[in-house]
Amino acid sequence: AQSVTQLDSHVSVSEGTPVLLRCNYSSSYSPSLFWYVQHPNKGLQLLLKYTSAATLVKGINGFEAEFKKSETSFHLTKPSAHMSDAAEYFCVVSDNLRIKAAGNKLTFGGGTRVLVKP
Amino acid sequence: ETGVTQSPTHLIKTRGQQVTLRCSSQSGHNTVSWYQQALGQGPQFIFQYYREEENGRGNFPPRFSGLQFPNYSSELNVNALELDDSALYLCASSLKIFKTSDTDTQYFGPGTRLTVL
C-alpha cells in the first residue's frame, strides 16, 4: 500500500518570504503525486500534478514542486508567500487499484496548515 | 464548463437515521470518487464509480453504499448513522480513458458537512 507523510503539521511564514512544505511518500511503483489546497470551509483545489514527466512541476499561484525519486520526496515551494496562501495543504499519491482490476484512489497526507503573518 | 457540485451543503441527522448525499460531476467526466474528511484530518477514500459500476472501495463498512447514474452524477448513501460519521463528505470527478487508468486528475466539489447527533 502507498502512503504519504507530511513532515510539518503547521508552518508559519511572513508575507513575502519563501514557503516550503515537505512531503515524503512510499510507493511500490512510479506514482502520480499531487498537491491540493483547502481553504477554510471549502473543497479541495488542485495546485499541481506529477505523472513521470519533468521532475520540476509548476502549478497555479506561483507554487512548484520537485519530485526526487532517490529521496522519495515531493516538496512544495513558493518564493514569496501571500496572505491568500493561508490554508491547509495536502500532499497526495494516486494509489493504483489495478491489482483488483479497478481504477485508483487518492491517498492523502495528514495536511500542513500554513499561517501567513503580515 | 460547470465544476463539481454537491448537495446539500449542510445536513444534521440523528444516530440510526439514513442519509443520501448527491454529487454532479464536471461536464465530460465519467468517474466519481467519494471521500470522508473528519475534522482535522485528510480525506479518506470511500469508493469510486466508473460508468455506473463500483470501481474500487476503501475500508468502509457496507452501510456506506453508492450509485452512479447514466449522466454520471452520483449518490452516497449511509445507513444506520453513527456519531463517528460526522464529517465533510467530498465528491471528486475525473475522466478515465479506461477502467484501470490511474493518471486521471480528480476535481473536488465543495463538500457536504454531515453532523450526526
A2 touches chain B (CB under 8 A): no
For B85, the grid coordinates are 460519521
Residue ranges with strand state E in B44-86: 44-50, 53-57, 64-68, 74-78
Please tell me the distance from the alpha carbon of residue A75 to that of residue B6, in angstroms, as a whole number. Answer: 31
DSSP string, A55-101: SEEE-GGG-EEEEEGGGTEEEEEESS--GGG-EEEEEEEEEE-GGGT
Contact criterion met (CB < 8 Å) for B55 and A102: yes
Rg (CA), chain A: 14
Q: For testing the chain A interface, which of B47, B102, B103 should be mutated: the one with the most A CBs within 10 Å?
A: B102
Contact criterion met (CB < 8 Å) for A106 and B50: no
Query: Pick from A78, A106, A93: which is nearest to A5 by CA?
Result: A93
Q: How confident is the model at residue A52 (pLDDT cuts 50, 70, 90)?
A: confident
**Contact, B36 vs B46, CB < 8 A?**
yes
B28 touches chain A (CB under 8 A): no
Beta strand B87-94 with B107-108: parallel, antiparallel or unpaired?
antiparallel
The whole-number pLDDT of residue A83 equals 96
* Option in B35, B92, B96 nearest A103 (CB): B96
The whole-number pLDDT of residue B38 equals 94
The whole-number pLDDT of residue B98 equals 74
- Collect all residues of chain B within an 8 Å Cβ-Cβ radius of residue A103: 31, 48, 50, 55-56, 96, 99-102, 104
Find cell 518564493 and name the residue.
A79
The whole-number pLDDT of residue A32 equals 86
Of A3-7, A42-46, A60-64, A81-85, where does mean pLDDT reach its minimum?
A42-46
- B19-47 pLDDT tens trace: 999 999 999 899 999 999 999 899 999 99
* The pLDDT of residue A15 is above 90: yes
The whole-number pLDDT of residue A97 equals 63
Please tell me the distance from the alpha carbon of residue B92 to that of residue B113, in angstroms, as a whole number. Answer: 15
For A21, the grid coordinates are 512544505
The whole-number pLDDT of residue B1 equals 56
Q: How far is A70 from chain B (nearest CA, A)?
A: 22
Average pLDDT (A23-28) is: 87
Number of Cβ within 10 Å of residue B61's Cβ equals 10
- A57-108 pLDDT tens trace: 999 999 999 999 899 999 999 999 999 999 999 999 987 665 555 667 889 9
Phi, psi of A98 (to 5 degrees): -55, -35
The whole-number pLDDT of residue B97 equals 80
* The pLDDT of residue A53 is above 90: no
B96 touches chain A (CB under 8 A): yes
For A88, the grid coordinates are 491547509
For B20, the grid coordinates are 443520501
User: Tens place of pLDDT for every residue, chain B, 117 residues?
Assistant: 579 999 999 999 999 999 999 999 999 899 999 999 999 899 999 999 998 999 889 999 999 999 999 999 999 999 999 999 999 999 999 998 877 777 788 999 999 999 999
A34 touches chain B (CB under 8 A): yes
